Structure 1
Amino acid sequence: MSTTPATARMVEVSGAEALWLVEGSSLGRLVFVQRELTVVRPARHVWEYGRLVVRTPVQAAAVPVTAAYHVDEIRAVQGTGWTVTVSGPAEVVGDPHEAAHYRRALTGWTHGPHDTILRVHPQTVTGFRLARGTEG
């Protein structure tokens, strides 16, 4: 029995399938540029009304005009899984009642100034399935 990971190949999926994969998940990473450096933060999310609502440990003032959100499920040993990136305009959820609702619905890691609820309005969606490949 071999313990080396299987090789995988990436197969692009449609935007609809990519969003379906995101909707079926709850954990991802917010990715944005701050002071010319790429910042990656863990996040919880929910897909609602064509938008991604994200809870992440980032100061609200640091949320950029545009952000990317990355979600994946990788099974390295089997060489299978999927990866999706959604990018578009981002905005902080400013209404305190709406933000409180999402704080109850999306568990977070931090509280206080580094606990932000935001919306990402998808403009670009890219997704890939990782399929078992053949060596050769």
Structure 2
Amino acid sequence: MNTPPVQPRMVEVSGPEALWLLEGSNLGRLVYTQRESTAVRPARHVWEYGRLVIRTPAPATAVAAAATYHVDEIRAVHGTGWTVTVTGPAEVITDPDEAAHHHRTLPGWTHGPHDTLLRLRPRTVTGYRLVRGEV
């Protein structure tokens, strides 16, 4: 007798659990609008004092007052993992001492003259676990 394959499904998680997943990771993607189209850049992050500090190879002038940050860990073979998206106001870190600290502690990528540090204050946090489930 053939049994149907087990299909992965998404289960929403609470905001605190989503932030816990985010804190356990350090690699994600910054999503913002640049020249009227969506730009996605790799980024490193750290959660500090209720804010997300992001280092990304994006021009500081291109990042709007609000941004979206996405982090995930997906194990495709097993059909499991999680995904978290944070959206909120963003500001470029301009304090030289704070910037120096984050440049030392957050590895990053540079793209031409771009190596931007941002502080994102979460307004919305959504998260999902990918779990194996019956069809």
How does the TM-score come out when normalised to structure 1?
0.92
Q: Distance in 1 between matches of 2:6 and 2:92?
A: 41
The residue identity in structure 2 corresponding to 1:20 is W
The 5 Å alignment of 1:12-23 reads: 12-23=12-23
Residue 87 (structure 1) aligns with: 87
Contact 1:60/1:113 (8 A) holds in 2 = no
The residue identity in structure 1 corresponding to 2:108 is G
Residue 119 (structure 2) aligns with: 119
The residue identity in structure 2 corresponding to 1:82 is W
The 5 Å alignment of 1:21-100 reads: 21-100=21-100
Contact 1:6/1:79 (8 A) holds in 2 = no
Residue 108 (structure 2) aligns with: 108
Gaps (5+ residues) in structure 2?
Answer: none
Number of aligned residues? 131
Q: Offset of 1:133 from its aligned partner?
A: 2.0
Q: Distance in 2 between matches of 1:124 and 1:113?
A: 31
State which drifts further: 87-96 or 102-111: 102-111
- After the TM superposition, list the runs of 4 or more consecutive aligned residues in structure 1 that deviate by more than 3 angstroms: none
The residue identity in structure 2 corresponding to 1:95 is D
The residue identity in structure 2 corresponding to 1:83 is T
Q: Distance in 1 between matches of 2:95 and 2:113?
A: 16
Residue 11 (structure 1) aligns with: 11
Q: Offset of 1:7 from its aligned partner?
A: 2.3
The residue identity in structure 2 corresponding to 1:62 is A
Q: Offset of 1:33 from its aligned partner?
A: 1.3
